[in-house]
Structure 1
Amino acid sequence: MGDYNQLLWIRENRNLVKGPILEVGSKFYDPSTSIDYRSIFPSFEYLGMDLESGQNVDVVCDLTQDFDDFPEVLQSTKYQTVICCSVMEHVKDIYKAANNISHLVKKGGVLFISTPFIWQFHGYPSDYWRFTPEAVRYLFKDFDFDLLGENTISSNTDNDMQKLSRDPNDFLYKNELYQFQQDIKNPILRKLKRVLHFFGNKNFRKEYLLRQVLKKEKRFPYTSINLVGVKK
C-alpha cells in the first residue's frame, strides 16, 4: 500500500536495495492505494506478505503473532531489504509488529518504513495510529536511521517531498504557500512573488487553487514520514 510519493522515494533510493526483498503489506486493494514496488526490482528475489491472501501476496502472515508461528519461508530467511509502507497505522499491536519486522531484517540490511504523520481515517481493516519520526525510532531500536540520510516528509500531492531534518523538533511540513506567508514581510513583494510563483510552479498553482479558490484544505493536512534504517 502507499501513495505515489512513497513510490518515488523508494525509486530514488533503489541503489540502497539488495535482495532478497520482503514487502510487508503487499496486497493490491485498488489503484489509489496499491503501489507496485515489485516491478522496480525485477532481478531480485521478492516476497510479498500480507494479513490476507490476494493479488501480489506470496505469503499470508499476521505481524502480531509470535515469531515462532510465522510461516517457514519467513523464519528461514533473513532479508536484505524490507519495505513497509502505510502499514503500521493499521496494526493494533505495533510493538510486537515492529519487533517481528526487526527479526526479519538481516544485520546490515535496510528497512524502508513509511507511516502517516497526519492523515484521514482509512480502515484496512481498521486504523489505529499516527507517527512522528521519534516514534519510528523508538519502535525500531535495532536500526540506525541517521546513517543514510535519505529520510523525507511528503504530502499527498505528487512529487511534493522534502528531506527531514535530523533535529527531532524541526520536522514539521512547511508547504510553499505557508513559506511565502512567513518569509516575506512586505505585502506588495509577497503578492508579486506569489503571482510569479503561481505561473512557474505547478504544485504551488494546484495548492493555491485548492486553498484560495475552492476553499478546500486538500494538501497540507496529509503528510507521511519516510525513513530508511540500517540494521545494527
Structure 2
Amino acid sequence: MTRNKVSGQDLAKLAMIRSNVSSFLRNCGETFVVGSGERLLDVAPQDHEGAAPYFPTARISTFDIDPESGCDYIGDICKKNANIADGYFSYVVCTEVLEHVRRPFEAVDEIERMLKPAGLVFVTTPFNFRIHGPLPDCWRFTEYGLRELFSNFEILQLSPLEDVDRFLMPIQYTLVARKRA
C-alpha cells in the first residue's frame, strides 16, 4: 500500500484550484481597475505566477515569511510588520495563504492595517482539499468563517468553487473585500 501517493482526485482538484485562482485574479484585474502606479502587495506568491500578470499597471511588492523567498518584504503576516507603513497599499492579494497561518484573525488584521481606507483585498482559500505544503496547513474556512474573518471589511464578492459531486462542500472560496473608510 502506498500511503504518500497523491490521488488522481486531489490532482484534479489542485488543477481546478489553480485555474480558479488565475480566473479570479484575471477578473479582479479587469473589474477592479488598478490605477497606474497604485501599490499592490502580493502575499506569499511562492512558486506560482503571482499577481503581476493580472495587474500590469500596479506597483507590485511581494511579502513572505521565508527569508529565502526573494520577496521584497520578509515578515510574518500574523504580526505587525514595522517595515510597512499603515495604509501603504491600495490592494492586497492573498491567494492560498490563510489556511497556512497559525493566527488567521491576526493575519487579516495585518492586511487591514496595511491597506489604505477603501483598499481592496483579493483572497482565495481552499475548503475541500487535502492537507498540503508549505506546512503547517492549519485551517479550512467556510463562507461563514470568511465572513467572520473579514467582518471589519465590506465584502463585495464571496464565491464558492462548487464540487458537483458533493453538495455544500465547495473546493475553494474566492473573496473580494473593501477596507472600510
User: What is the TM-score with the length of structure 2 in the denominator?
Assistant: 0.78
The structure whose RCO (Cα within 8 Å, separation 6+) is larger is: 1
TM-fit CA distance, 1:121: 0.6
The answer as to whether partners of 2:45 and 2:62 remain within 8 angstroms in 1 is: yes
Aligned to 1:114: 124
Aligned to 2:107: 97
* Alpha-carbon distance in 2 for matches of 1:108, 1:52: 29
Q: Which runs of 5 or more residues in structure 2 are unaligned? A: 1-16
Q: Which runs of 5 or more residues in structure 1 are unaligned? A: 29-33, 155-172, 180-219
TM-fit CA distance, 1:40: 2.2
* Residues 178 and 139 (structure 1), Cα distance of their counterparts in 2 relative to 1, 3 Å cut: closer
Aligned to 2:25: 10
Aligned to 1:86: 96
Spell out structure 1 runs of 4+ moving beyond 6 A: none
Aligned to 1:59: 73
* Residues 17 and 127 (structure 1), Cα distance of their counterparts in 2 relative to 1, 3 Å cut: farther
Tell me which amino acid in the other structure corresponds to 2:135.
P
- Secondary structure of the corresponding residue to residue 13 of structure 1: helix
Aligned to 1:46: 60
Larger radius of gyration: 1
* Residues 76 and 139 (structure 1), Cα distance of their counterparts in 2 relative to 1, 3 Å cut: closer
- Secondary structure of the corresponding residue to residue 3 of structure 1: helix
Instruction: Determine whether 1:153 maps to 2:167.
Output: no
Aligned to 2:175: 227
The answer as to whether partners of 2:160 and 2:170 remain within 8 angstroms in 1 is: no
* Alpha-carbon distance in 1 for matches of 2:44, 2:158: 20
User: What is the TM-score with the length of structure 1 in the denominator?
Assistant: 0.62
TM-fit CA distance, 1:221: 6.9
Tell me which amino acid in the other structure corresponds to 2:158.
N
* Alpha-carbon distance in 2 for matches of 1:27, 1:53: 12
The answer as to whether partners of 1:143 and 1:231 remain within 8 angstroms in 2 is: yes
* Alpha-carbon distance in 1 for matches of 2:103, 2:166: 36
- When the two chains are superposed, the root-mean-square deviation of aligned CA atoms in Å is 2.4
Q: Deviation string for 1:206-232 (max 9, x for gaps)?
A: xxxxxxxxxxxxxx9771100111111
Instruction: Determine whether 1:127 maps to 2:141.
Output: no
Q: Relative to total residues, which structure has the larger strand share, 1 or 2?
A: 2
* Alpha-carbon distance in 1 for matches of 2:23, 2:106: 29
Q: Relative to total residues, which structure has the larger helix share, 1 or 2?
A: 1
TM-fit CA distance, 1:50: 0.6
* Residues 174 and 9 (structure 1), Cα distance of their counterparts in 2 relative to 1, 3 Å cut: same
Aligned to 2:6: none
- Secondary structure of the corresponding residue to residue 152 of structure 1: strand
